[in-house]
Amino acid sequence: MSDATTIDLYEVTMAMSYLREGMTGPATFSLFVRDLPPERGFLVAAGSESALDYLSGFRVGREDVEAFASALHRPSRDLQPLLGLEFTGDVRAVPEGRIVLAGEPLLEVTAPLPQAQLAETYVLNQLSHQTAIASKAARCVLAAAGHPVVDFSLRRAHGPQAGFQAARLGAMVGFAGTSNVAAATALGIPAVGTMAHSYVEAFATEEEAFRAFARCHPGPVTLLVDTYDTEEGVRVAARVLRDLDRGPGSAVRLDSGDLGALAARARSILDAVGLPDVRIIASGGLDEYAVDDLVRSGAPIDTYAVGTRVGVSADAPYLDSAYKMVEYEGRAVMKLSSAKVTAPGPKQVFRRTAYTDVIRLADEQPRGDGRPLLETVMRNGRRTGGRPTLAERRERFAADLADLPPAARRIRDPVAPRATASEHLSALARRVRRRIDEQTSAPYARPARP
């Protein structure tokens, strides 16, 4: 059984009906976020790489057909039209690491209708989750104001894959490292880690624990100092580091309590004994809001370790994302249901100065006002061009972030820019709406009376 079965069942039932009806013409689906979460001034596009990997390898095999048949309580012969189906379509997407706004397509799929329909679940899952996490991580980088941020999210992430993605996306937006060894190894980013409170508790005293740890690990070490009394823990750590001449590059970690006040006291203690090069690392329930408060207070914290709240995007754990058909066999279509109206037709987004973006039809002339965001990343079911490196994605994000309006960068009460629709797109939407209204309001034909 392949990843083709990682799908909502209704995608299968619709695809079967399309095939039965001979509806295999080209369809375009657009994936976008309707509205940003209240405390987001922007989003960071992510997840397209996973989606492309999935589509590149998509093929319905015999075991997949049997799984579909079992789920539908039907004989497998009824599902045979799906056997061997592959994705042969085209994909345009906003490259990972680019900043995007509400209503802007992150990705558009054009493929034979059954294929485009079957792509929905996995593609929507990957872009929604990863864009949410990347956007949360990006706000931590903003809040830290130049201080290093590292990822500690694996232990409470929603599964190992989600933990891996949190590490990858954090690195994409500027994190300095991750505690996730698998992610660090696979991605070529620094692995970071210290010790747990259980390690300190396993020894008779903090000093024994710190000395044993230092004996085991040559070079700079980081000592967790808040197992019992934090200030005393800092004094003990300072004594051990000074005795062993292990100060430069070493650190103490604060994991609980009033981190700002404790950091100030720790800095004073370390400086007083001649250890100005020993850094202070803060962790323990941090996210961009807590980091912002600490930075603004002037707390002498050198590195921020963020975990659970960032790895699950705790304040905005989902996006109001959608994957909607916008064209079938050259006919523009749109959804009109209350509060969920979609724009018709394949589209392109043009990034203008200060993020006064314009959403145009894909074949509309841009008038030279901005550069297009969506790029062709797959043609005829195969990826086009090379796979961007993590460093290239990071550079792309940094450039976009530098141009973002100050109001959108705020951690609290951000104001997100809004993209506008071109006149051609607006006019098409009006025409399609009129057509749908005429069709749905036409009186039903009544049989003639005998």
Round the CA-based radius of gyration of the chain to a whole number and report it: 27
367: confidence class by pLDDT, cuts 50, 70, 90: low
Report d(CA 23, CA 331) in Å as an integer: 14
366: confidence class by pLDDT, cuts 50, 70, 90: low
pLDDT greater than 60 at residue 446: no
Q: How far is CA 239 from the centre of its chain?
A: 43
**DSSP conformational letter for 442:** S
450: confidence class by pLDDT, cuts 50, 70, 90: very low
Q: What is the pTM of this model?
A: 0.94
Give the CA distances from residue 123 to residues 293, 373, 431, in Å, rounded to whole numbers and listed in that order: 36, 19, 30
Give the CA distances from residue 99 to residues 23, 102, 103, 318, 373, in Å, rounded to whole numbers and listed in that order: 36, 11, 13, 17, 10
pLDDT in tens, 338-364: 777 899 999 999 999 899 999 999 998
Report d(CA 377, CA 382) in Å as an integer: 8
- Residue 444 has a pLDDT of 56
- Residue 442 has a pLDDT of 64
